[in-house]
Amino acid sequence: MFEVVGFWWKTRSRSWLAIETLGLIVALSVLLLPGLGRANAQPNWTLDPTASVLTYQSVKKNTIVETNKIRNISGSLSSAGDAKVTFDLNSVDTGVDLRNVRMRFLFFETFKFPTAELTAKVDPAAFADLATKRRVKAVLPFRLNLHGVDKDIEANIVVTMISDNMVSVASEAPVAVHVEDFGLLPNVDKLQQAANVTNIVPTASVSFDFVFTADGSKPAAVQTVAASAEVGPVATDAAKTNFSDEECLNRFAVLSRTGAIYFRTASARLDSQSRPLLGEVVGVVGKCPGLKVEVSGHTDSDGSPVENKRLSERRAQAVADAIVAAGIARTQITAIGYGEERPVAANDTPKNKALNRRIEFSATKLVN
């Protein structure tokens, strides 16, 4: 039996459940291209991420609508009709770094599931007359893999030929996606607890306009997508050499509340399931060289206070040792155990006790 280190944070959050739809949309787009390929003697097509846009909306408190984007997407369609689209969940774009990090680590759990993938098998004959009509409406099926779950979905789309070598695939109407289909409903609960809000609607709607170009064709100006600095790829954490102090603190605050560090019951031995999150922590610490990171351990109130404090110290030290073993300087890491002294919930239910059993990360300026 494992203990799950709990999460706790009191900040605004967003339930951007529509990322699944993002994939949905991309998949739909790709499905159209076989017809174009045949009409223009171009066997393969590639999604143009600089000319494509996807927006998604979610609702909290039943009435507050929030709109955001997924920025980094890629897709292709083979001459045989095999469509595959991958999108980067670390490119969530809310306009605010802290909100981006919350969605990545708490909702999508990108330390375990960094991408989503869409696949489809398309019959080229279904779009054989696209080059003549220039605009076709269709209902297209595809399979979306998100958060380790496969789901068959379909959506209504409008396909428009922009030129002989370019096609736009857009949503005819917003597409609804239900997060419970992908096992993400518990993560909505995390967001609600984090923001201290209720009634986050577990369904999202997505609108999109994706542009595909024939392989080997020259890029052309695209008028169907509104010009905006927010359209196209965006740099993610992996491309950054170092984080600002604010970015470091944002990441430590959210990583502390993922509940993804695991120990055997009454043991300080880290379980292998902790590796994905620890890898993420190591990556963040390495890009925050000016900060000293404290790893703190906390327990519930079961057992004696003395034993709980000792256990929390051992667990914090185990995490610190794992970070150092991954290449971080010992001088940048400290460990401390608080036992049951700092609960974040009443120790009255199994769920609340799990919240109190946790590892947290905080940081201060290094003193030379």
The pLDDT tens digits for 170-222 are 888 888 888 999 999 988 888 777 777 788 888 888 888 888 888 877 655 54
Q: Which of 182, 130, 118 is nearest to 155 (CA)?
A: 118
Task: Examine the domain organization and report whether 228 and 252 are in the same domain.
Answer: no
Task: Examine the domain organization and report whether 159 and 264 are in the same domain.
Answer: no
Residue 97, domain member (yes or no): yes
Higher-pLDDT residue of 75 and 301 is: 301
- Spatial separation of the C-alpha atoms in residues 151 and 162, rounded to whole Å: 31
Task: Examine the domain organization and report whether 197 and 245 are in the same domain.
Answer: no
- Percent above pLDDT 90 for the chain: 47
Q: Rounded mean pLDDT of 290-311?
A: 97
**213-217, long-range: CB within 8 Å, 24+ apart, which pairs?**
213/45, 213/46, 213/48, 213/165, 213/166, 214/36, 214/37, 214/40, 214/42, 214/44, 214/45, 214/164, 214/165, 214/166, 215/42, 215/43, 215/44, 215/45, 215/46, 216/42, 217/42, 217/165, 217/166
Give the pLDDT confidence score for residue 315 in this predicted structure. 98
- Spatial separation of the C-alpha atoms in residues 292 and 128, rounded to whole Å: 62
Position 319 pLDDT exceeds 80? yes
Residue 5, domain member (yes or no): no
Position 271 pLDDT exceeds 80? yes
CATH of the domain at 264: 3.30.1330.60
SS3 80: coil
Position 168 pLDDT exceeds 80? yes
- Spatial separation of the C-alpha atoms in residues 138 and 136, rounded to whole Å: 7
Position 304 pLDDT exceeds 90? yes
Task: Examine the domain organization and report whether 204 and 299 are in the same domain.
Answer: no
Residue 11, domain member (yes or no): no
Task: Examine the domain organization and report whether 218 and 251 are in the same domain.
Answer: no
Mean pLDDT, rounded, of the chain: 83
Position 263 pLDDT exceeds 90? yes
Residue 299, domain member (yes or no): yes
CATH of the domain at 94: 2.40.128.110
Residue 156 domain boundaries: 19-236
Number of domains, the chain: 2
Residue 193, domain member (yes or no): yes
Residue 59, domain member (yes or no): yes
Task: Examine the domain organization and report whether 205 and 112 are in the same domain.
Answer: yes
Within 10 angstroms of residue 207's Cβ, the number of other Cβ atoms is 19
Task: Examine the domain organization and report whether 178 and 55 are in the same domain.
Answer: yes
The residue among 236, 258, 291 that closes a domain is 236
Q: Rounded mean pLDDT of 81-99?
A: 89
Task: Examine the domain organization and report whether 27 and 44 are in the same domain.
Answer: yes
Task: Examine the domain organization and report whether 332 and 246 are in the same domain.
Answer: yes
Residue 287, domain member (yes or no): yes
Task: Examine the domain organization and report whether 70 and 158 are in the same domain.
Answer: yes
Task: Examine the domain organization and report whether 103 and 154 are in the same domain.
Answer: yes
Task: Examine the domain organization and report whether 154 and 76 are in the same domain.
Answer: yes
Give the pLDDT confidence score for residue 164 in this predicted structure. 85
- Percent above pLDDT 70 for the chain: 85
Provide the sign of the torsion angle of the four alpha carbons 317, 319, 323, 325, taken in this order.
Answer: positive
Burial status of residue 21 (CB atoms within 10 A of its CB: 0-12, 13-18, 19 or more): buried
Confidence of residue 324 (pLDDT cuts 50, 70, 90): very high
Position 80 pLDDT exceeds 80? no
Position 13 pLDDT exceeds 60? no
Confidence of residue 131 (pLDDT cuts 50, 70, 90): confident
Residue 322, domain member (yes or no): yes
Q: Which two tokens stand for residue 137?
A: 């409406």
